[in-house]
Chains A and B, each alone.
Chain A
């Protein structure tokens, strides 16, 4: 265990993943990809929780990451349903085309 991967690596990796998620959310134009970026951010959060939970020798972080997974699944169900209705009404998945209320 002594020569395991250091803690900071996990945290840096999760920060990079979170940053990628934010960048994807802002710069991607396809709704599905934007949604995937959000999932990436949530998984970065899970990685952070697990890393901290391991260092602190506590089970709280594990439990929290389970809650995050469950909620992410519920969000995915609702989110994909919403994306589907948008596609049915507009026949497009480009986020710039879904802007009937801008003036």
Chain B
């Protein structure tokens, strides 16, 4: 066993994406005092280069899969999928932030460093094979995101968002930790595979109740992090108050990573006690979909509406987890990728439209956008149609596979209720389309500047991703299917 503690070259190679991003994040902060006026672009360049290098390293790591650092981390298809996804989210966030930071006069090294650290934490979560690593990754990601949510220090809404995110996030972490402590006490291990082995061993039946209690506590922690009901209260306020590009990031990256650990813990370690947690997950899924969709109906603020929509989408992924089969895991992976694209696209439009001080964030303000900037409006329409789940978009196949997984698990009623929920959702997304194309342009639309280069890249890349996943879903789905066998 002792030889295991000396890391080999392969160990470091599997961990290279995280190393690159941490080094780059530190570097960005170190070079800030050395740079003059045109510093903003330098930070951007360094972080983009780091993200692209980390992306390459993550893809390279997939060629040498396996466990590293005495089983603390594991690189497999599932881990690579989420690592690539969150790094991609990081790249698109940087591209969409530059214009926003410039107009708020807030471009500084910390923003980019925090973004790099946050994505690092999410990569650690994606590759974690041990409850300690899950906790550390979750905290690296969360703490950096708390600061990002309140990035504009003098803005009241930013402060409030950061405070709520911080308090409720730490509260959730405490529950997760208490669950980990009990699972450690019950099974004597924090390694996911060992916990599973313990629960499978005959003669441990009297410990199942304790393990289920621990699983319930951890479920509370994860539900908070993915904003699943009844722990979704923080999401609307935080998404509305945080700077638009940070909301773009929060709704895609940390959420995907939280779902990654959720899936890994509950599909490996707690898989032997599925019958105990499954009822809680499906009831939470149902409640999340209903609360998200019905609350979104009445919103006038577009950020808040998209926040409720993001809660509803978390509900669909929870349906896939409740199905607790391999198709469900693959469907959740596919859905999270499609969701990242369409949601980043939608929030990029909000970032573009909101202007300085986020003046224009009401749905009514978008009136006439279809005539003033047809390209932006057209791309926004693609994202909205994908969020509804219209065929030929990634959102359609995402929902299709999730409901297929639910049907395979004999959860017909859950699939039916999910479909009914999607029908409700169509109403509030279509309302935006109506405002954009049917109403006369107002003051907000007429004063709109053309798209900046970074945002344009984000919008086109997200639209391309949404459409590719909608027209050729098998490309990604085959990979997801091949890597959905989490139990080794």
The interface of chain A, by Cβ under 8 A from chain B, is: 11, 18, 21, 25, 31, 34-35, 38, 41-42, 44-45, 48-49, 51-52, 55-56, 58, 60-61, 63-64, 67-68, 71, 74-75, 78-79, 81-83, 85-86, 89-90, 98-102
Contacts and interface: CB of A to CB of B under 8 A. Distances in A.
Contact of A79 (B136, B153, B166): B166
Nearest to A7: B185
Interface residues of B, number: 39
Contacts of A67: 132, 135-136
Contacts of B163: 31, 82-83, 86, 98
Nearest to B146: A78
A44 B178 contact: yes
Given A89-B154, A101-B160, 15 more contacts: A11-B185, A18-B178, A21-B174, A25-B171, A44-B178, A45-B174, A45-B177, A48-B185, A58-B188, A61-B181, A78-B147, A82-B159, A85-B162, A86-B159, A98-B160
B178 A74 contact: no
B133 to A, nearest CB: 10
A64 B132 contact: yes
B167 A71 contact: no
Contacts of A81: 147
Contacts of B188: 56, 58
Interface string B24-39: 0000000000000000
Contacts of A41: 171, 174-175, 178
B181 A74 contact: no
A78 B154 contact: no
B139 interface: yes
Contacts of B243: none
Contact of B143 (A18, A44, A56, A75): A75
B237 interface: yes
B253 interface: no
A95 B110 CA distance: 28
Contact of B185 (A38, A56, A78): A56
A2 B319 CA distance: 51
B294 interface: no
B371 interface: no
Contacts of B173: 75
Closest 4 interchain pairs by CB? A52-B185, A41-B174, A48-B181, A45-B177
B171 A82 contact: no
Contacts of B167: 25, 31, 34-35, 38, 79
B436 to A, nearest CB: 23
A35 B150 CA distance: 17
Given A75-B139, A98-B160, A82 B166 contact: yes
Contacts of A11: 185
B182 interface: yes
Given A61-B184, A75-B139, A101-B160, A82 B178 contact: no
A79 to B, nearest CB: 5
29 contacts: A18-B174, A21-B174, A25-B167, A31-B163, A34-B167, A35-B170, A38-B167, A38-B174, A45-B178, A52-B181, A52-B184, A58-B188, A60-B184, A63-B132, A64-B181, A71-B136, A74-B139, A75-B139, A78-B146, A79-B166, A79-B167, A82-B146, A82-B166, A83-B163, A85-B159, A86-B160, A99-B160, A101-B157, A101-B237
B156 interface: yes
B393 interface: no
A100 B184 contact: no
Nearest to A72: B170
Nearest to A79: B166
A51 B147 CA distance: 34
B143 A74 contact: yes
Contacts of B240: 101
A86 B150 CA distance: 10
B284 interface: no
